Chains A and B, each alone.
Chain A
């Protein structure tokens, strides 16, 4: 099949050329493009945008909650002096469920949003690499910020540059503690005690009394001050009678 040549009048052709030159001049003087020239330009993100996950090993209690909640199965716990999480960024979807679920605030977000890796192997970030805060190499000459309203959206380019030191965004955590909602249904299996990484649930033998009379032998289970609210016992309980309760 042969494509026919489009025939235009020379005047129309000339007009089109003038339009193009006009647009080029306009863009050179007052550019209105909406794309960011990465890495010469750096985009300013809102404060709450989820970024690279960092770990404070001193706070981590190895409760595995992050690994269990991860919907992409990207977190793997590896053994150092204790078990610590490592994030596989080939899988991570940046939902930050791990950060939200962390009972002690050991996992936190940071303001590092543009990560680059040399190989797939490097994307499997280990716990040791998550503890050190990474540094960003400055390449940007100006910063860009988007302003979006209901009617239109535009971007503003500024000469002043953003501070690029990587910061740990301290998560807000509510202290919680395990709580037995229905002690009458307790099987007495002590699985909560077995699973507790902090030995916060303790058992003592006792005698059961009813109206002042000893009716049999039994045990007392106690949730002590050591409980950090990791929720492992809540998941383990076969009768589902444990819950996490906020501490006032």
Chain B
């Protein structure tokens, strides 16, 4: 005879747990669309994809286990912000791979695979229309595909793929936005099996978009067809789309304000504070990426890169990173603006 315990989180409403999550997170416009709840749901009822998180028929089908609430990074949300702790910071450019800027996410993953620290890694690829598509990287050769590397600026269901990966292998790498990193950390705290996620690479992030809204906006207002685009980028407050023929369209990111999902508007975590290593273009010159090394495992990988000389390394400008971290706190206040007035009165 064997027995074991599990914790039931406290309910805030007299509903099933998904009802609680819906009321407190989704309907409260805090949902960051990380799809952690969709991944953990034991009955696979929660749907993600290119639309807001929902659970059709949850009143009947939800098994009331509370797993979604345990992993949701926005449940009892306390915004993380700042640059966070780091042991080392470099500005680097991969000599082997081509990516968004310095292709350092690709380089770190490739080195981790070669060192045997991880067996597979979850990456986001895209189709012709820039819809996100999850790929599992098992071999370094897969990383030379230009569709796999580079930023997509659209939501992807990485965490459901991550859950499938940890069930089949013992060491997995993961790349994601700060909210996804927080979700993975929450999963690791609640469920031991997620300790198999050995490497979490966080991306610098200000906001993310729904694919259908982004492509519709670009087509309608800017006459940009993503089918012909080769690269999308956000640099110095401008959204830039490059095309096959070399031409480019750029406009201020502020114009995208109307399609920024509500969940991103309360997020203050720019540099993925909880990651093993954070990567982004801010703080480096063109063609280089800033790499914030936060943990031992990431340090070992960066040391290996340096030893092998697979990347060009420079000094970064940390002032720029700090500036953007502060900027994100300013533009994304939490609690949202309505309550902000009260807060000011108190202080």
Residues of A participating in the B interface, judged by any CB pair closer than 8 Å: 179-180, 182-191, 194, 206, 208, 215-225, 238-241
Please report the C-alpha to C-alpha distance between residue A56 and residue B119 in the assembled complex, in whole angstroms: 47
Does B247 touch A at the CB level, under 8 Å? no
Q: B19-27, B63-71, B312-320, B332-340: which one contacts chain A?
A: B63-71
* Closest Cβ–Cβ distance, residue A58 to chain B (whole Å): 25
Q: Which chain A residue lies CB-closest to B194?
A: A185
Does B144 touch A at the CB level, under 8 Å? no
Whether B65 and A189, one on each chain, are in contact in the complex, defined by CB atoms closer than 8 angstroms, is yes
Q: A208-B7, A222-B3, A240-B167 are in contact. List 15 more A-B contacts (CB 8 A).
A: A180-B2, A183-B6, A185-B191, A186-B6, A186-B191, A190-B65, A191-B63, A206-B5, A208-B5, A216-B10, A217-B10, A218-B6, A221-B6, A224-B1, A241-B193
Q: Which chain B residue lies CB-closest to A222?
A: B3
Task: For B63, list chain A residues within 8 Å (CB).
Answer: 189-191, 194
Number of A-B contacts (CB under 8 A): 81
Whether A184 and B2, one on each chain, are in contact in the complex, defined by CB atoms closer than 8 angstroms, is no
Does B42 touch A at the CB level, under 8 Å? yes
- B149-196 contacts to A, CB under 8 A, are 167, 191-194
Please report the C-alpha to C-alpha distance between residue A191 and residue B67 in the assembled complex, in whole angstroms: 13
Whether A185 and B192, one on each chain, are in contact in the complex, defined by CB atoms closer than 8 angstroms, is yes
Whether A189 and B43, one on each chain, are in contact in the complex, defined by CB atoms closer than 8 angstroms, is yes
Q: List 24 A-B contacts (CB under 8 A).
A: A180-B4, A183-B5, A183-B6, A185-B192, A185-B193, A186-B4, A186-B6, A186-B191, A187-B191, A188-B8, A188-B66, A189-B63, A190-B63, A191-B42, A194-B63, A208-B7, A217-B8, A218-B5, A220-B5, A223-B2, A225-B1, A239-B42, A240-B167, A241-B193
Does B40 touch A at the CB level, under 8 Å? yes
Helix, strand, loop or mixed for chain A's interface?
A: mixed
Please report the C-alpha to C-alpha distance between residue A241 and residue B167 in the assembled complex, in whole angstroms: 9
Task: For B1, list chain A residues within 8 Å (CB).
Answer: 222-225
Task: For A180, list chain B residues within 8 Å (CB).
Answer: 2, 4
Task: For A191, list chain B residues within 8 Å (CB).
Answer: 42-43, 63
Task: For A225, list chain B residues within 8 Å (CB).
Answer: 1
Task: For A182, list chain B residues within 8 Å (CB).
Answer: 192-193
Please report the C-alpha to C-alpha distance between residue A182 and residue B43 in the assembled complex, in whole angstroms: 20
Q: Which chain B residue lies CB-closest to A221?
A: B4
